[in-house]
Each structure stands twice: as structure tokens, then as C-alpha cells.
């Protein structure tokens, strides 16, 4: 069976600066995904035109800026992550090349082979977040699995996390002892009977 070699991490987008090139359907979809996860994400979108939905989003999101212009290499200055989401395949490749020169991690929406990272399908229940990837094979299956998990995981998981957080802060003793106690308290979560 082919393995998925992607390494998942959870970025703090309010600590980073993201450039999105393209403000059409996919640019809008990607910005929406970023903001749903982090409403205060620092995002600049550069595009020759914008979907009205994006213009609306920019009125609400405090750190989302839209700049109407054609892409130039300088747009990557000071950015940590970039998403190339224009409808011009050759331009997306040029944006990738510029990002590589600037050591900016990039997602090229129409070319998975060029992506340094993929966006995942995200399940959210309060503090809990699960990211799903199909190795780029079927984003639609990722979306469906998200729906299944969103239904299956009870909302009460957030109370469990809040309580465990309090207990974790209160536990005394050395690290090994803490781990032992936390494993004991949470045993019930994996017990089958």
C-alpha cells in the first residue's frame, strides 16, 4: 500500500505572514479556509480582480488585505507562506520559482507536485482540531471524511479537554509521575467494554 509521507503541523497564522495570489474562486476558498482556522491570520491577497465575496471578507477580517495589481516577486518579501491560486498555469509556476528563490513555503493550487504543503480538510470541535489528507488523491473524500468525523465526535469532547487542562496544571510530582497519572485518568477514553 502506498504511504502518505506528508508531515502534518499546526501553524499559528497570527504569528506568520501569508501571501495569496489570485482572488477568484480558489483564492477565495483558500483565504476562507485560512480564516476559518485563524480569524486573525495575517494575509495579503494580490490579484488583478477579486470576487465580491473576498471584498466582503476583507471588511470583517482585521488582518486581511487585498491589493489589486499583477503579481511581482516583491510581493513575497517578508512572507512565510504563499499560495499561488491564479487561473494562469505558467504564472503559478513563476510564482513557485520566485518563492523557492525567497525560501518561502508555497502551495500551488493547480500543481500538487510543486506544493511544499497541502491544505487539509479540517474537523473542529472547540479546542480539538483534526486535519485530513488523502495524499492529494481525492480532496472530495477528505471533505466527506471530515463530515463523518464532525458528526461522530461529541461536542462534549471540549469539556473533557477543558477539565484535563485544569488537572494537568494542578498535577504535582515529576514529569514521569504526571504522565502516569494523566494516562490513568484518560484510560476510560480508549476502554472497550
Ligand X SMILES: C[C@@]1(CC(=O)O)C2=NC(=C\c3[nH]c(c(CCC(=O)O)c3CC(=O)O)Cc3[nH]c(c(CC(=O)O)c3CCC(=O)O)/C=C3\N/C(=C\2)[C@@H](CCC(=O)O)[C@]3(C)CC(=O)O)/[C@H]1CCC(=O)O
Ligand Y SMILES: NC(=O)c1ccc[n+]([C@@H]2O[C@H](COP(=O)([O-])OP(=O)(O)OC[C@H]3O[C@@H](n4cnc5c(N)ncnc54)[C@H](O)[C@@H]3O)[C@@H](O)[C@H]2O)c1
Q: Where on the chain is the footprint of ligand Y (CB under 6 A)?
A: 21-27, 46-49, 70-71, 85-88, 91, 109-110, 139
Q: Single out the residue of 14, 75, 66 nearest to residue 45, CA to CA.
A: 66
Residue 138 in the binding site for ligand X (CB under 6 A): yes
Backbone angles phi, psi at 21, to 5 degrees: -105, 120
Residues 41-80 within binding reach of ligand X (CB under 6 A) = none
- Please identify, using beta-carbon distances, which residue of 128 and 179 lies nearer to ligand X: 128
Set of cell numbers at residue 47: 490579484
Residue 24 in the binding site for ligand X (CB under 6 A): no
Least distance between ligand Y and beta carbon 92 (Å): 7
Residue 25 in the binding site for ligand X (CB under 6 A): no
- State how far the Cα of 80 lies from the Cα of 17, in Å rounded to an integer: 5
Kindly give, in sequence order, each residue whose CB lies less than 8 Å from that of residue 128, ignoring residues fewer than 6 positions away: 153, 157, 158, 161
Which residues bind to ligand X, rule: CB under 6 A? 29, 33, 107, 109-110, 112, 115, 118-121, 133-136, 138-140, 142-143, 146
Amino acid at each position: 500500500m502506498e504511504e502518505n509521507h506528508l508531515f502534518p503541523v499546526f501553524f499559528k497564522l497570527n504569528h506568520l505572514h501569508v501571501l495569496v495570489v489570485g482572488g477568484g474562486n480558489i483564492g477565495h476558498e483558500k483565504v476562507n479556509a485560512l480564516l476559518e482556522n485563524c480569524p486573525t491570520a495575517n494575509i495579503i491577497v494580490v490579484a488583478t480582480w477579486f470576487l465580491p465575496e473576498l471584498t466582503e471578507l476583507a471588511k470583517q477580517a482585521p488582518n486581511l488585505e487585498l491589493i489589486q495589481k499583477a503579481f511581482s516577486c516583491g510581493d513575497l518579501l517578508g512572507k512565510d507562506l504563499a499560495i499561488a491560486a491564479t487561473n494562469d498555469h505558467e504564472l503559478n509556476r513563476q510564482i513557485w520559482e520566485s518563492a523557492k528563490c525567497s525560501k518561502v513555503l508555497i502551495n500551488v493550487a493547480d500543481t500538487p507536485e510543486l506544493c511544499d504543503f497541502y491544505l487539509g480538510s479540517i474537523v473542529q470541535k472547540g479546542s480539538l482540531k483534526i486535519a485530513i489528507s488523502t495524499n492529494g488523491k481525492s480532496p472530495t473524500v477528505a471533505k466527506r471524511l471530515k463530515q463523518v468525523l464532525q458528526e461522530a465526535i461529541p461536542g462534549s469532547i471540549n469539556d473533557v479537554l477543558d477539565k484535563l487542562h485544569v488537572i494537568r496544571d494542578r498535577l504535582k510530582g515529576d514529569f514521569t509521575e504526571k504522565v502516569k497519572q494523566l494516562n490513568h485518568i484518560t484510560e476510560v477514553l480508549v476502554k472497550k467494554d
